[in-house]
Structure 1
């Protein structure tokens, strides 16, 4: 009969084996605690990926004339643009179901805020917009063209531009009629708002833009009228829109934390000589 020998049988020693297992267990507990501190989160993208809303871009005139005052009867010293920003913040803070963007135009135009549902960030960024930030002239056509480019990245059925200006087109390489026709062809509505007295802005052109794109033209002779216009704009019909904001979120830190706590409790009971 052959004899079977285990020359390293000491490795199966109860004390040493438990010590090795205990080290592994402590390492595992530390790993669980680190995982819990990392605050893992699971997102469910399949259940609420759609909501009601619209893609909405404000095209704001920041030309030199927007620094003029006497627009608000209660605060006559305040510049028109500052009042415009304050009322715009109030309007945007209520747009929980919209993707909102902003284009700025003066002598030229640029995309100031891409489409986003993060209204707090938009309100924060508005504080950095000042009169003359894009030059002192008025490139209305470029302002519309820039707003259209922002809307082309959106997914909502309803796409809207709200154009706010207090002057006449006197700058830029894009004509207002050309920009309005482009918006019409893309199914984009343009609501125009003339700020100040009618003689100060191009009433006929703003009316033409709104009419050609199935929008509406508004006149805001003072701050109170502008506030009423925002209230009317709230009635814009919503449509389906995608947004990460409405993904289901589940925080997972509890699970590794619970397992680590249970294991530590078991080790504590063992050290106190209690049977588990």
Structure 2
């Protein structure tokens, strides 16, 4: 493909941590969903997990795939899109380590049903009540009617002064 087959798990986690570190919420969580292994980036997954622990952020890692070492991947060819089985290199020990260090948990999803069950489990583990404020922008739309009324009044005045003028 055009993009190299690279996964920067540590860098991705560091970006998420930088967004969450100043949050005042009681529960700060990152969910890492991956089918690969860290093979690029400047920050190691272990370093990112240590950083998450420092800021009180739990990382829940989810490894996806069949475990067979291959996954279907669409590839663009001159004749259209072709789906080929590409090697998948899931690094489960690193995913487990990230979760353990940060106070999260590691899950393995092999299909859509197990992934839905994992999200439900994480939801049960991390319940937090949130209060939000909703802001609504209102637009005053009466101005067009004021202009129309002013135009009609002006027209009525002009007609009474000229064509429809009555003499007493």
The answer to whether the 8 Å contact 1:161/1:190 transfers is: yes
1:58-77 equivalences in 2 (<5 Å): none
1:40-189 equivalences in 2 (<5 Å): 133=3, 135-152=4-21, 155=23, 157=25, 158-189=27-58
Q: Which has the higher contact order (CA 8 A, sep 6+)?
A: 1
Q: How many residues align?
A: 140
What is the CA deviation profile of residues 121-178 of structure 1, one whole-angstrom value per residue up to 9, with x for unaligned ones? xxxxxxxxxx874x313332222112223334x7451432111122333333322211
> What corresponds to 1:258 in structure 2?
145
The answer to whether the 8 Å contact 1:155/1:241 transfers is: no
**1-side partners of 2:150 and 2:42: how far apart?**
71
Unaligned runs of 5+ in 1: 1-130
CA RMSD in angstroms comes to 3.1
**2-side partners of 1:138 and 1:132: how far apart?**
15
What is the CA deviation profile of residues 68-92 of structure 1, one whole-angstrom value per residue up to 9, with x for unaligned ones? xxxxxxxxxxxxxxxxxxxxxxxxx
TM normalised by structure 1 equals 0.43
**2-side partners of 1:166 and 1:222: how far apart?**
12
Other structure's SS at 1:250 match: coil
> What corresponds to 1:127 in structure 2?
none
Larger % of helix: which? 1
TM normalised by structure 2 equals 0.65
Q: Report runs of 4+ in structure 1 exceeding 4 Å deviation.
A: 239-243
Aligned residue among 206, 230, 237 for 2:127? 237
